Structure 1
Amino acid sequence: MTASRHRLCDVVLDDSIGRSTPDVEHERAVAIFDLIEENSFRPSSHDGGPYRLTLSLIDSKLVLEITSEAGEPVATHILSLTPFRRIVKDYFMICESYYQAIRSATPSQIEAIDMGRRGIHNEGSQTLMDRLSGKVEMDFDTARRLFTLVCVLYWRG
């Protein structure tokens, strides 16, 4: 894939996502920045990127609306969030353990918890790639960044 064309140039959270605390809004902004900064993203059977991605929530489903950089519609995909609920819940639990461990655990304990955290994050990233298979081509690092954004959508602060 040619990185300059097969990428996201913008990611927007639609009003259906709702706003949250300043901390959560900051985390969302960082997740979007990281995703835009480095990604590989190509809707299947479309070769005219870069792309804009608008995320919204409708009836507990994640809607990914993809347009060209100029705003022409490319594709819309609707994903049930059900397959992500357990993963996100587990991810938040292990992140909480990680932040607690940083204060009092040994380096080897912190490292073990962090390995678990990364493993759950990888599981969520792979689930996202699987759910978008045949719809959007992306590399694993892009799926990781997009999964981070999905997690931040759940986070209420």
Structure 2
Amino acid sequence: MDQTVAAQEKSRDRLIDITLDVKSLGRANSNIEHEREVAIFDILDGNAFRVEGADDGPYKLNLSLAEDRLLFAISPSNGGDAVEHTIALTPLKRIVKDYFMICESYYEAVRTAPPARIQAIDVSRRGLHDEGSVLLKEKLLPKIIVDDDTARRLFTLVCSLHWKG
């Protein structure tokens, strides 16, 4: 077993389960459902997730939307009490809206556009996704510390919660 993988498995600073609040989920098309499933799988496959001031991981995470806020309900895998951390969605709204628009353009282009056009749209899509993940990572600080890959995948989940079909 790779030493990095072994260290991640032993680390307490990680997520081992993620659920999305069904009441928060909007109607999603197959592309959004797929993105959601892949993001959860990828996060669980390897992540860095630390709750400042806590040493009771690994953790279970439930993500939900409440009014204009994103709620992280985090509980230790051993069944201890959950802690909640909320962040305002307002700073993320423009990026999420732009990301949805470019994703729609991307999915449409995949069906009809030449490869160069698809690639150009994908570059823009990835740039917005990166911008959103950096902002999300900043908003989680100082209470929740994540690595870049985990922030990217969490941003995908935030977008999937925000999607209203």
Tell me the TM-score normalized by structure 1.
0.88
Runs in 1 of length 4+ with deviation above 4 angstroms? 24-27
The percent of aligned pairs where both chains have the same amino acid is 51
Provide the C-alpha distance between the structure 1 equivalents of 2:103 and 2:125, rounded to a whole number of angstroms: 7
Which residues of structure 2 form unaligned runs of 5+? none
Q: How much has 1:36 moved relative to structure 2?
A: 1.6
Contact 2:25 2:163 survives alignment (8 Å): no
Q: 2: CA distance between counterparts of 1:126 and 1:103?
A: 30
1:126 equivalenced with 2:124 (yes/no): no
CA distance in 2, matches of 1:93, 1:18: 19
Counterpart selection for 1:59 from 62, 67, 83: 67
- For structure 1, the residue ranges without an aligned partner over 5 or more in a row are none
Would you say the 8 A contact 1:16–1:58 is kept in 2? no
After TM superposition, list the pairs within 5 Å mapping 1:95-114 onto structure 2: 95-114=103-122
Of 3, 10, 24 in structure 1, the residue corresponding to residue 8 of structure 2 is 3
Structure 1 stretch displaced more, 112-121 or 41-50: 41-50
Q: Look up the SS of the partner of 2:83 in the other structure.
A: strand
What is the number of residues matched between the two proteins?
157
- Deviation of the 1:7 alpha carbon: 0.8
For the residue of structure 1 that corresponds to 2:8, the secondary structure is coil
Task: Give the Cα separation in 2 of the matches to 1:87 and 1:3.
Answer: 31
* Alignment correspondent of 1:13: 20
Within 1, Cα distance between the matches of 2:120 and 2:143? 35
Deviation at 1:97, TM superposition (A): 1.2
CA distance, structure 2, for counterparts of residue 90 and residue 18 of structure 1: 19
Deviates most, 24-33 or 66-75: 24-33
Give the Cα separation in 2 of the matches to 1:55 and 1:71.
17
Residues 19 and 70 of structure 1: CA distance in aligned 2, closer, same or farther (over 3 Å): farther
For residues 97 and 150 of structure 1, what CA distance do their matches in structure 2 show?
Answer: 20
TM-score, L = length of structure 2: 0.84
Query: Secondary structure of the equivalent of 1:145?
Result: helix
1:40 aligns with 2:45: no
Q: Secondary structure at the match of 2:13?
A: coil
Deviation larger for 70-79 or 4-13: 70-79
